[in-house]
A = this chain, B = another copy of it.
């Protein structure tokens, strides 16, 4: 299947409509229960939805047809991802949620055949979940060369020791990929670390806690863990890629990861604009005088719509560039959308809350969930400030050369 996102292609329109329909009819009704109730106890219903998604040929749209997916370009997937982002459950239902989607891409390209069979295959089918252990509480995430976690080669094994947090979705996951220093003396600090797969039933792995984030301790997929590795021994063959390639692979993993987040954020914005408009039309200041007549509200709607439109075009243009030239060539584009869209996201959510008044700060709408859980968007995957510096230096370089 080839979807031309730039044209008025009816095939993509149909596909997008099918996702939209699935989402509004099947997924929306489960949101409040899964988000504000118990995610864990909603799992059976979500499992049902996954089966439906498989039956309707909508499951795992990011995978190639041979792996059970739709074989889409990143641009095409972007359009779908935007729709899925309209619900906090969207990506999960179709098995293209972070951090699993990132691990799938990573392992698809760099894992050994054995690791693929044992871990990637059930992951792609949605039978297991995974996580990614990189961030450490003691070291600034904005300068990743400082890592305290080590993996020492002893015979055919690695022995891993370290302390990680923001290991999202570790609770209930089957394995993690851990970033650890394997060659601490390497002259290039970017070649000191490696990525190693660790099954979570390993006795050297310790689950410390789900970190309470903005009032939510979370559970299962919807959680962010603090974990420890204490003399955690795994076979050296659990290495992903080559030894010392950790940062290079992280870059490979994070590039598309950032674009996935941006796509999802745009979906959130669209939903926020939707509820903002509906509220503005239904909330009466006086009988027959809806909030929507206030010019301030109109300004917020216009500014949100404009900036979300700008975001979408930039994200799709970046996806196109990645499709055509690869993630490396799009490095500065990815940095650009990271900080541009996260800002648009938070401003749009903020306006939607303000339009809702007191209701907006309650857990009676999704806005409170996103306002809290997406505040991290400006921090994770590199704080916005770092991405601005990256972009500026790149631009300045062009003029320095002249």
Contact = CB atoms under 8 A, between A and B. Distances in A.
Interface of A: 6, 36, 135, 137, 140-143, 146, 165-166, 211-216, 273-274, 277-278, 280-281, 283-286, 291-292, 294-299, 301-303, 305-307, 309-311, 313-314, 317, 336, 339-340, 353-354, 357-364, 368-369, 371-372, 375-376, 378-380, 383, 385, 387-389, 391-393, 395-396, 398-400
A310 B141 contact: no
B298 A389 contact: yes
Contact of A358 (B277, B310, B362, B380): B380
Contacts of A353: 375
Nearest to A402: B278
Contacts of A375: 353, 361, 371
A391 B302 CA distance: 6
Contacts of A313: 310, 313-314, 317
A306 B391 CA distance: 9
Task: State the 5 A-B residue pairs at the shortest beta-carbon distance, nearest first.
Answer: A215-B215, A298-B392, A310-B310, A212-B363, A302-B388
A19 B98 CA distance: 45
A310 B317 CA distance: 10
A308 B95 CA distance: 35
A117 B165 CA distance: 55
30 contacts: A135-B358, A142-B357, A143-B285, A143-B286, A146-B284, A146-B286, A212-B364, A213-B361, A215-B216, A274-B399, A277-B399, A292-B396, A297-B392, A298-B389, A298-B393, A298-B396, A299-B388, A301-B392, A301-B395, A302-B339, A302-B387, A302-B389, A303-B388, A305-B336, A305-B392, A307-B340, A313-B313, A313-B317, A358-B379, A360-B379
A160 B305 CA distance: 43
A372 B295 CA distance: 27
Copies of this protein in the assembly total: 4
Nearest to A292: B396
Max count, chain B CB within 10 A of own CB: residue among A292, A388, A392: A392
A393 B391 CA distance: 27
Given A140-B285, A214-B215, A278-B399, 14 more contacts: A211-B364, A212-B362, A213-B361, A213-B368, A214-B368, A215-B216, A215-B363, A299-B385, A303-B388, A306-B340, A354-B385, A357-B383, A360-B379, A361-B376
B389 A295 contact: yes
A310 to B, nearest CB: 4
Nearest to A291: B140
A298 B336 CA distance: 13
A214 B358 CA distance: 11
B166 A358 contact: yes
A396 B301 contact: yes
Contacts of A359: 137
A36 B291 CA distance: 36
B378 A358 contact: no
A361 B278 contact: no
Nearest to A333: B309
A291 to B, nearest CB: 7
Contacts of A387: 302
Given A137-B359, A309-B314, A362-B211, A295 B292 contact: no
A275 to B, nearest CB: 10
Contacts of A362: 211-214
A305 B360 CA distance: 29
A386 to B, nearest CB: 10
A383 B354 contact: yes
Contacts of A299: 296, 385, 388-389, 392
